[in-house]
């Protein structure tokens, strides 16, 4: 977890010697003219030493002064641009706690089948209409796949996916593939099942779900987890040139959300190769941390032990390795130690979900990552899968589980108190997902009960134990919206208006820190990013209002107006 530290050492030492304490403006021994100075608004630095400031000066892509207006204006030269914030708010650039950058392809080439407010679909008919629109827009011919994403059957009027028969009637000449909102499963029609040879004779794999027609073994089109993953990996995709063009235009979705460091959270070899080409062509406008999926590490690392790349190359670096231990709670494939209150995704009774892979396999994978020296990122949702992570960590730690390794528990949503305490003792950082409180909170109450739902993504408890939890959108499971991420950490309200876990609500500054400084800590980049302090990169965001000053219910209405990467504006909201 040393990314950027060597690169930052020289400028930090220089500024310590010439400016005094980091975070306070002072006249340097050698005169440096700022390129920009920001004044006239609220500046939330997210730095303990100086939480708020009146002005910030930027030069050569870095912050050269932070503090009182008069002191910072001492860095003004003839060419300095003094930018009046006009009462708006300046904050550090947002750090993506977990998402899937390559999902930019899906959102531009597939039908949006999500329900409001993320999408337009309220019924099965709406889902089919969305698929028909994408077929028309992309001129999809007979025999070609029609695909959609973001479908949440629990939010449709019928409380179900379109049936295989309904999809067959609507698309008699096309295979159809609709990805569940969790990203962990899909609904297929007959032609799509035939394309991947899923039949009545296909056994349900360990850790997977295949829905069956009532009274038979005939597949009904529902696939989850290990039954879904191999097919998902083989789906048709645009050609490389189109993919590169999509990534180029699509990254604005991140920039308009104020994200200056993004994550590709489960990277396959071909995706990695394309991202490297894209980066080396100068295409990236933000920093991108890539997490190769565990099954791809031999190919990506060319047979060598997996290891992080300590430096960005053209804004891209490998920052760890991704492992998945279970599925999603909203898809009812997360692994729990107690049964769901409702039937499983294929009608299973007494269903607890399952680990994605046997514990012995997970143990061996974690040890391979630890032995190679890479940072481990583990997807785990249910408490049984968190037990699995903890057991694998203990197994792979050579008798020293308290040794800091930078391990991250992605989601860690239904973590028990004893598990959270072990995270603190074993230096495992949770990257929580408080957006679930809104998008899936009511579903969690129905599936897991109110008491357990109240404890999802327990930010307050984690902070009290001395942890530094990150927070994320898991795009494209939910939209890229960092202000709504803050909003849900502060309010924890479901769609129906129920507050899930009043005791786990945190303040807006704490919620901001989770997607800035604590996000940077998760990547080992806290000396480089995440706060507005002298010597750090000038990754900044201008907001329409101060999230610490508006009523908590109004945080979601705050807009990103401008995103700045290393002193350069990379996105600005168009004037109305």
d(CA 148, CA 106): 8
- Say yes or no to pLDDT of 161 above 80: yes
Three state DSSP letters for 263-295: EEEEECHHHHHHHHHHHHCCCCCCEEEEEEEHH
Give pLDDT, residue 23: 38
Q: What is the mean pLDDT of residues 413-421?
A: 98
Report residue 87's pLDDT band, with 50, 70 and 90 as the boundaries.
very high
Q: What is the mean pLDDT of residues 37-46?
A: 98
Question: What tens digit of pLDDT does each residue of 495-538 get?
Answer: 999 999 999 999 999 999 999 999 999 999 999 999 999 999 99
Percent of the chain residues topping a pLDDT of 70: 94
Domains of the chain: residue spans and CATH: 103-234 (3.10.310.70)
Q: What is the mean pLDDT of residues 358-366?
A: 98
Contact 332, 340 (CB under 8 A): yes
* Strand ranges across the sheet with 94-95: 94-95, 259-267, 287-292, 316-318
CA atoms within 13 A on the CB side of 515: 35
Q: What is the mean pLDDT of residues 133-161?
A: 96
Report residue 31's pLDDT band, with 50, 70 and 90 as the boundaries.
low
By residue count, the chain amounts to: 576
Joined tokens for residue 39: 């004044």
- Say yes or no to pLDDT of 21 above 80: no
Question: What tens digit of pLDDT does each residue of 238-274 get?
Answer: 999 999 999 999 999 999 999 999 999 999 999 999 9
Give pLDDT, residue 5: 32
Give pLDDT, residue 576: 54
Report residue 32's pLDDT band, with 50, 70 and 90 as the boundaries.
confident
Give pLDDT, residue 575: 78
Range among 2-11, 236-245, 540-549 with highest mean pLDDT value: 540-549
Q: What is the largest CA-CA distance in the chain?
A: 82
How many C-beta atoms surround the C-beta of residue 128 within 10 A? 22
Question: What tens digit of pLDDT does each residue of 196-234 get?
Answer: 999 999 999 999 999 999 999 999 999 999 999 999 988
pTM: 0.92
Burial class (CB in 10 A: 0-12, 13-18, 19+), 440: buried
d(CA 550, CA 554): 6
Question: What tens digit of pLDDT does each residue of 268-300 get?
Answer: 999 999 999 999 999 999 999 999 999 999 999
Question: What tens digit of pLDDT does each residue of 56-75 get?
Answer: 999 999 999 999 999 999 99
Give pLDDT, residue 433: 98
Q: What is the mean pLDDT of residues 466-480?
A: 97
Give pLDDT, residue 30: 57
How far, rounded to the nearest angstrom, does the alpha carbon of residue 59 sit from its chain's CA centroid?
30
How many C-beta atoms surround the C-beta of residue 215 within 10 A? 6
């Amino acid at each position: 977890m040393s990314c950027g530290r060597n690169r930052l050492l020289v400028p930090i030492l220089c500024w310590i010697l010439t400016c005094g304490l980091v975070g306070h403006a002072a006249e340097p021994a050698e005169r440096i003219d700022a390129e920009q100075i920001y004044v006239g608004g609220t500046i939330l630095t997210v730095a303990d030493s100086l939480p708020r400031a009146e002005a910030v000066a930027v030069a050569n892509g870095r912050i050269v002064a932070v503090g009182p207006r008069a002191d910072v204006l001492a860095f003004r030269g003839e060419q300095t641009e003094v930018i009046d914030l006009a009462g708006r708010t300046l904050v550090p650039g947002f750090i993506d706690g977990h998402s899937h950058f390559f999902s930019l392809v899906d959102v531009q080439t597939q039908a949006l089948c999500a329900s409001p407010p993320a999408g337009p679909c309220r019924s099965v008919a709406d889902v089919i209409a969305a698929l028909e629109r994408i077929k028309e827009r992309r001129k999809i011919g007979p025999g070609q796949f029609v695909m959609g994403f973001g479908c949440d059957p629990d939010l449709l009027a019928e409380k179900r996916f379109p049936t295989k028969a309904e999809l067959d009637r609507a698309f008699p000449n096309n295979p159809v593939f609709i990805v569940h909102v969790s990203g962990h499963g899909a609904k297929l029609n007959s032609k799509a099942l035939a394309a991947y040879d899923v039949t009545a004779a296909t056994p349900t794999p360990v850790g997977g779900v295949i829905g069956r027609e009532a009274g038979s073994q005939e597949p009904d089109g529902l696939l989850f987890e290990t039954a879904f993953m191999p097919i998902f990996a083989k789906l048709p995709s645009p050609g490389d040139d189109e993919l590169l063009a999509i990534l180029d235009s699509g990254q604005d979705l991140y920039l308009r959300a104020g994200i200056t460091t993004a994550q590709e959270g489960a990277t396959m070899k071909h995706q990695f190769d394309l991202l490297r080409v894209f980066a080396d062509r100068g295409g990236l406008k933000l920093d991108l941390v890539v997490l190769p999926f565990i099954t791809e590490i031999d190919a990506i690392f060319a047979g060598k032990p997996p290891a992080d790349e300590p430096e960005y190359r053209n804004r891209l670096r490998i920052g760890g390795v991704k492992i998945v231990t279970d599925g999603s709670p909203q898809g009812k494939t997360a692994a729990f130690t107690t049964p769901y209150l409702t039937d499983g995704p294929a009608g299973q009774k007494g269903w607890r979900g399952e680990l994605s892979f046997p514990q012995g396999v997970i143990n061996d994978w974690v040890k391979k990552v630890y032995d190679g020296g890479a940072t481990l990122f583990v997807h785990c949702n249910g408490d049984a899968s968190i037990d699995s992570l903890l057991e694998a960590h203990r197994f792979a730690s050579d008798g020293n589980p308290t040794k800091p390794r930078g391990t991250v528990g992605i989601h860690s949503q239904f973590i028990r108190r004893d598990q959270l305490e072990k995270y603190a003792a074993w230096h495992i950082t949770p990257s929580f997902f408080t957006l679930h409180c809104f998008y899936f909170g009511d579903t969690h109450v129905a599936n897991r009960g109110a008491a357990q739902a109240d404890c999802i993504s327990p930010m307050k408890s984690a902070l009290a134990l001395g942890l530094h939890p990150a927070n994320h959108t898991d795009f494209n499971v939910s939209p890229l919206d960092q202000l709504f991420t803050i909003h849900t950490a502060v309010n924890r309200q479901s769609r129906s208006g129920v507050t899930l876990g009043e005791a786990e609500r945190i303040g807006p500054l704490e919620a901001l820190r989770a997607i800035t400084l604590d996000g940077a800590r998760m990547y080992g980049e806290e000396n480089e990013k995440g706060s507005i302090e002298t010597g750090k990169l000038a990754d900044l965001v201008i907001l329409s209002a101060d999230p610490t000053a508006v009523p908590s219910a109004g945080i979601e209405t705050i807009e990103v107006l401008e995103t700045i990467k290393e002193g350069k504006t990379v996105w600005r909201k168009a004037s109305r």
